[in-house]
Structure 1
């Protein structure tokens, strides 16, 4: 008969343990010692009742390796109830052909006890090969010990959750610090993937963001072999898109067991966790964590922490974007103010002075009262004023864009020249101002019509379109049409390349063109072109209102 005081001592020892494996090992060893069983094993179950972990007692490492994975789940091992123990004291007669491996240690008798945690079957304890028979006293005592083990397992779970929660908080703090320090967005996204993979004990972390034409593409990946998934589109009917639409995360028990997997590259993984990046009710993307097939499944605690960090990361990214836009706006506004002051004060005053001098010179020339040398001096002064006006205009253009040292027509021609070097051929540029084609000359009146902000954006749009054609299109020709009329400017760029590709993602810069159009209450679109020798081609249309 089991000593009650010894049973109590071992139960108290169990409940004081916070390490998960240590508690399970102590449970098996205590049960074997109290009952006199020579061998003991605890089969830890997953949500489907399959054995995912075995904790042994009474077996050396050699025997453990010989017996491999015992057949827990059927035959004798499949009879275990969830609320009572079972005893078999004559296994030789009951199982003339034993359902266990040949190298398994001898078992003359058997005691099985369920381990239930939070009302769910957590595992089955098996005790075997006792000198003499197992008794009901043994069964009742080990059932009591199992209740103590249940408390120990729950305590270890709560302790582990607190440790993991602290790690999630540290990861969140590291992400926020990186953002507030002004690090590049790409670097921050890579940090988010790394930290979430590390803390969640995942093998791979993916960040899926919106790209061109509404596609959602994996743009950041962390983990062994994850780089192969970068650039893969996630289909509209897939799980990732469902999480993006609903703003609710989900857990998949095993990707390898999914009957219909729309991203085949994920089929080699086990459990998966989807956490949406939500800010102000809008989903910016989804973070996918993947574990290997032999790893433990994600649970609801993992999902809750991952969702919290994903939301915090989305808010932090939004804050970083706002800070960047604010800094740019402040800089542009300061430059614009200087430009306006130079234009409205210095240039206007010089114009007025030049007009007065011209009037005086003409009066003196008409009266014949002034010598020729005086008239020449006045001509020189008037020319100097004109040159000063031109120099101030150049300064104004430089303030608008540090790289800009000429009016918009000259800047556009310079972009075409630069494009010819990277494309291998010269793009065709056509400018129409108020119905008249612009050929030679500077045509500074276009700068006055467009204004500084719109002019800068037109140049930036042309530059971005040429760059994208060079990187992605593989075109043989590029045509650029710019038209200014009715307080509106339009930029149309057509190439005959391979068309819109998957690699034109959110990072490609095309999203910047849409943002520039919105700033001026305009429009932006990209769609297949009308074809050409090399394929379907691409047509980009950008418009802005001119106030």
Structure 2
């Protein structure tokens, strides 16, 4: 290129104009429009050499017809590397492009390379800021005491939004050596995604279990993808959630079919986010365990106090009343003391039941028969507005077989539901007696559910269910 450059003012305006916008797409569009205006071309387009790097394939003028290739093309370099080519066609005056047009285009292309480099830096900084803010928000949310399922959903949903993905999916290892989707955040109902598994031996699975991220160009056609929902998605990232040499799971971020692939910068930021999220999950789990341990310790202390102090005092008081009743000649006083002794016995049973309930883990499903009964009565409190009083008599854990226990629980559930529908119910008492006897002399377990609600003009109703042992 040599010789003076005419049309200097329009060129200066174009050179200055291409660097005024820091957003990459807007910068490329300004370059294309400036090139068309400088040369009088009706059609202009900028094609990138590596669409995956910036997520952009081609930028054109507002003219709907693409320019024929090769009429006037100038390469654009960014930091010494080929970025793409600026193509012009169909000059408005009908004449071919001149050497002057080519000189103008080369000058504009040089300035465009600088503007694109700046826009890339700005876009990368802005993306990094969004991902860092997202990771910080996830950490804050997880450390506020969310349940495990809620914590995983928080990670999946935040990652989906940051990555502009169609779904955010968490997979966790299965006992068989595969992986299963346990949490999914999508625009639509994720119900058909949760539960999807990756079978053991999958090449993708081997990479993930080894702590390596996996990048997929098209989930629907990639032979490594074997899940039944793969046909719904296109480009995808699968990122191990790994912390303290422990694989918690995998974060998958698939986009819709036809969406642009992830750029290297997006993949790098997503990997960093996954590492931060995995660490936050580990810290949240440790915090949750410490909180549960503190609850267990408090419950054990309360249970010991109840057993060592309250029950012993109640038992001693009952013995004193029993002794006084035997020595008392007055029938009325004798009967009153007898009722007091029975009340103390019932209170001892209730305290023992409370001690047993305190020893149950707060979030674990009870496996013992006594625990299952307590769970049913605790669940009925939501309908009744108060918790029913529950007592057990005899060795219920040892004497009641599983089949009869299931039948009793069904009867208890039905009786509690009936009690909740009675008007003016303010008290419900549940008794499970493993020392009952049937009229024919056989040993039995008896369930009695009393409520003080009105039914058929009677105050108070008792439901009785029993079964031989």
TM-score range, shorter chain: 0.5 to 0.7
1:190 paired with 2:136, answer no
1:134 to 97, 111, 135: 97
Q: What is the CA–CA distance in structure 2 between the aligned matches of 1:371 and 1:423, rounded to whole Å?
A: 46
1:242 paired with 2:206, answer yes
Q: 1:320 to 1:238 in 2, by over 3 A?
A: same
Q: What is the CA–CA distance in structure 1 between the aligned matches of 2:77 and 2:394, rounded to whole Å?
A: 76
Match in the other structure for 1:401: 357
1:160 paired with 2:123, answer yes
Q: 1:172 to 1:45 in 2, by over 3 A?
A: same
Match in the other structure for 2:273: 309
Moved over 6 A (4+): 349-358, 380-387, 421-424
Contact 2:172–2:248 at 8 Å: present in 1 too? Answer: yes
Contact 2:346–2:391 at 8 Å: present in 1 too? Answer: no
Q: CA deviation at 1:407?
A: 7.5
Question: What does 1:447-458 correspond to in 2, within 5 Å?
Answer: none
Count of residue pairs the alignment pairs up: 374
Q: 1:286 to 1:330 in 2, by over 3 A?
A: same
State the secondary structure of the residue aligned to 1:127. strand
Q: What is the CA–CA distance in structure 2 between the aligned matches of 1:278 and 1:420, rounded to whole Å?
A: 46
Question: What does 1:76-475 correspond to in 2, within 5 Å?
Answer: 77=69, 110-130=71-91, 131-225=94-188, 226-238=190-202, 240-345=204-309, 388=344, 391-392=347-348, 394-401=350-357, 403=374, 405-406=391-392, 409-410=395-396, 413=400, 419-420=406-407, 441=435
Query: With structure 1 as the length reference, what TM-score do the two structures score?
Result: 0.57
Contact 1:354–1:382 at 8 Å: present in 2 too? Answer: no
State the secondary structure of the residue aligned to 1:267. helix
Q: What is the CA–CA distance in structure 1 between the aligned matches of 2:171 and 2:242, rounded to whole Å?
A: 13
Q: CA deviation at 1:227?
A: 3.4
Q: 1:308 to 1:342 in 2, by over 3 A?
A: same
Q: 1:346 to 1:414 in 2, by over 3 A?
A: farther
State the secondary structure of the residue aligned to 1:297. coil
Q: CA deviation at 1:288?
A: 0.7
Q: CA deviation at 1:181?
A: 3.5
Runs (5+) with no aligned partner, structure 1: 72-76, 78-87, 89-109, 362-369, 425-438, 443-547
Runs (5+) with no aligned partner, structure 2: 359-373, 375-389, 412-432, 437-469
Q: CA deviation at 1:143?
A: 2.8
Q: CA deviation at 1:398?
A: 0.6
Q: 1:422 to 1:144 in 2, by over 3 A?
A: farther
Query: With structure 2 as the length reference, what TM-score do the two structures score?
Result: 0.65
Contact 2:76–2:83 at 8 Å: present in 1 too? Answer: yes
State the secondary structure of the residue aligned to 2:251. strand
RMSD between aligned residues: 4.2
